[in-house]
Amino acid sequence: MTAVVNLDVPGPTISRHLYGHFAEHLGRCIYDGFYVGEDSALSNIGGIRTDLVQALRALDIPNLRWPGGCFADEYHWRDGIGPKESRPSMVNTHWGNVVENNHFGTHEFMQLCEMLGAEPYISGNVGSGTVQEMSEWVEYLTRSGDSPMSRLRKENGREQPWKVKFWGIGNETWGCGGNMRAEYFADLARQYATYCKNHDDNVLYRVASGARDDDYSWTETLMKSIGSLGGSPGPRDLYQATSFHYYTSAPTWENKGRATSFTDEEYDLTMAKAWRIDEIITGHSRVMDCYDPQARIGLVCDEWGTWWKAEKNTNPRFLFQQNTLRDALVASLHFDIFHRHARRLTMANIAQTVNVLQAMILTEGDRFLLTPTYHVFEMNKGHQDATLLPLHVIQDSARREADGLEFDAVSASASVKDGRVLVSATNLDLHDDARLRLDLRGGPWTLGEARILTAPAVRSHNTFDDPSAVSPQKFDGADRDGDALVVDVPAHSFVTVQLGLQP
Ligand code: AHR
């Protein structure tokens, strides 16, 4: 495989927000995950587990989306403020009909963000809420001075307003968020956005709930509602982004396979489906280009990742799944694709951070483990806010095929920041190693540290008894050959290589 990288021809900035996360009131993500309560024997601050926070800080998480997901459109924020003992409880009808006591609410979430060093991304309730309710939540969080909501916030112990930039207007409004038609929601998005105000110097980045997968017509309806074909005079500044969700599942969405026991055919199908996000982002971007050629409106993929059958002996509505090397390779592939779309794609959020779907961390009592996916986020964090160095890998073997879908076995991306280049390369092939030759043009460079994430099998995973079975190792398969960087990427592995640019 070969590719050319022009070190002196920069592409767009890869927003750090492509490395965003998502924590929903679902299963054991918040309760018995991040949040164990102040009386827990586990080390905590305000009920939030400090060991998890410490582990996650190593990922430089840029933003955290909350409280859903489908839960967001059943959530009434006023139930989650004030003294815990007087907060009303509710039933989380979407995720297992469990009782939600609202002990983790706005203040606890903002504290979690502060502890993680992440920006909050709040999903407001359109499906069963009101414009007033959402407007007041923004005011409660972000307004200083004297106002009904800032007074209430102060009564609850928080004098200063918080900074909140990212604001979701609904979630999956085509489905669990209200089963709306695009035309109806497009009007609601304009209305809700109007009353989600910028208070003081807090400037919101409003994200209108967007399409499922490749529903380009949903995106077109949202774009049409704030702009015109041709893009002139530019979209109205009501919402600043539209979103979409895409999950990877095999063999089919209706008949999901298991996280750790899957056939080689299912593995290939997983990768073919993971690659589909490239085509889907391209499709949404093309539609957006017609209405907004300057890319003023962002595209946000605020839910992505693998979705398998829940682990045996767990509540199926809690979506608890193990995480293998296969999941890690799905993640590294997604990041290459996200990087390539950095001009339009402004944010992405993996679903979800702890104990749900493609998690970074799994917990069991006082124990926790870091998943293979966690390690991809850590190994790739140098791409955050770096400048893309566009590259196109020319494959020297035939494209792989699974169930009629074709895909490339090798993927790579590169970026530069502060004089350091980070190259990421993924070899999806189950059996064959790949030699990747990157012809680096445009200036002298030195070879730095290289790391690899791999394991004897793609089904390998970390357990509470063997938490480091899949973890990054030093890699000596990268070398220079004249001006070329040659990386021997073993079968089913993810590699990162750092280079230094000489002034
Ligand atoms: O992430 C789990 C669920 O997937 C979210 O609640 C919903 O938005 C999506 O369907």
Residues 170, 260 share a domain: yes
Instruction: State which ligand 1 atom lies nearest to the alpha carbon of 352.
Output: 1
* Region class of 230: left (phi > 0), else alpha (psi between -120 and 50), else beta: left
Rounded percentage of the chain residues whose pLDDT exceeds 90: 97
397, part of any domain: yes
Domain CATH for 224: 3.20.20.80
Residues 396, 373 share a domain: no
* pLDDT, tens digit (0-9, with 9 covering 90-100), for 322-376: 999 999 999 999 999 999 999 999 999 999 999 999 999 999 999 999 999 999 9
Residue 398: what pLDDT?
79
Q: How confident is the model at residue 270 (pLDDT cuts 50, 70, 90)?
A: very high
Q: How many CB atoms lie within 10 A of CB 404?
A: 7
Residue 33: what pLDDT?
98
Residue 172 is a catalytic residue: yes
- Residue pair 294/351 in contact (Cβ under 8 Å)? The answer is no
Residues 63, 194 share a domain: yes
C-beta of 303 in contact with ligand 1 (< 6 A):
yes
Domain residues for the domain of 213 are: 15-385
Candidate from 245, 249, 301 with most ligand 1 atoms within 8 A of CB, to mutate: 245
* pLDDT, tens digit (0-9, with 9 covering 90-100), for 188-224: 999 999 999 999 999 999 999 999 999 999 999 999 9
Last residue of a domain, one of 331, 365, 385: 385
3, part of any domain: no
Residues 401, 347 share a domain: no
Q: Which listed residue (100, 220, 303, 378) is catalytic?
A: 303
Q: How many CB atoms lie within 10 A of CB 266?
A: 16
Residues 486, 433 share a domain: yes
Biggest CA–CA distance in the chain, Å, is 69
C-beta of 27 in contact with ligand 1 (< 6 A):
no
C-beta of 70 in contact with ligand 1 (< 6 A):
yes
Q: How confident is the model at residue 397 (pLDDT cuts 50, 70, 90)?
A: confident
Residue 330: what pLDDT?
98
Residues 36, 144 share a domain: yes
* pLDDT, tens digit (0-9, with 9 covering 90-100), for 137-178: 999 999 999 999 999 999 999 999 999 999 999 999 999 999
Residues 448, 315 share a domain: no
Residue 413: what pLDDT?
98
Residues 172, 313 share a domain: yes
Residues 103, 229 share a domain: yes
Domain CATH for 449: 2.60.40.1180
282, part of any domain: yes
Last residue of a domain, one of 336, 369, 385: 385
- Please name the residues in contact with 143: beta carbons below 8 A apart, sequence gap of 6 or more: 149, 150, 161, 199, 200
Residue 114 is a catalytic residue: no
C-beta of 119 in contact with ligand 1 (< 6 A):
no
Instruction: State which ligand 1 atom lies nearest to the alpha carbon of 171.
Output: 8
Residue 469: what pLDDT?
98
Residues 302, 233 share a domain: yes
Q: How confident is the model at residue 184 (pLDDT cuts 50, 70, 90)?
A: very high
Last residue of a domain, one of 366, 385, 404: 385
Q: For residue 321, is pLDDT > 90?
A: yes
Protein residue with its CA nearest to atom 7 in ligand 1: 69
Q: For residue 503, is pLDDT > 80?
A: no
Instruction: State which ligand 1 atom lies nearest to the alpha carbon of 172.
Output: 8
Distance 22 CA to ligand 1 centre (A): 10
Residue 383: what pLDDT?
98
Helix or strand holding residue 21 (H, E): strand 20-22
Residues 98, 160 share a domain: yes
5, part of any domain: no
2, part of any domain: no
Q: How far, CA to CA in Å, does 91 sit from each of 25, 26, 32?
A: 11, 12, 17
- Please name the residues in contact with 447: beta carbons below 8 A apart, sequence gap of 6 or more: 478, 479, 480, 485, 497, 499
100, part of any domain: yes
Instruction: State which ligand 1 atom lies nearest to the alpha carbon of 69.
Output: 6
Helix or strand holding residue 2 (H, E): strand 2-6
* pLDDT, tens digit (0-9, with 9 covering 90-100), for 115-145: 999 999 999 999 999 999 999 999 999 999 9
Protein residue with its CA nearest to atom 9 in ligand 1: 69
What letter does residue 318 receive in the DSSP assignment? G
Give dist(CA 64, CA 50) in Å, integer.
Answer: 17
Give dist(CA 275, CA 153) in Å, integer.
Answer: 45
C-beta of 24 in contact with ligand 1 (< 6 A):
yes
Q: Which listed residue (119, 139, 172, 220) is catalytic?
A: 172
Protein residue with its CA nearest to atom 3 in ligand 1: 69
Residues 325, 359 share a domain: yes
Residue 395: what pLDDT?
86
Q: Cα(first)–Cα(last) distance of the chain, in Å?
A: 29
- Quote the number of domains for the chain: 2
Alpha helices (H) along 171-215: 182-195
Q: For residue 396, is pLDDT > 90?
A: no
Protein residue with its CA nearest to atom 4 in ligand 1: 69
229, part of any domain: yes
338, part of any domain: yes
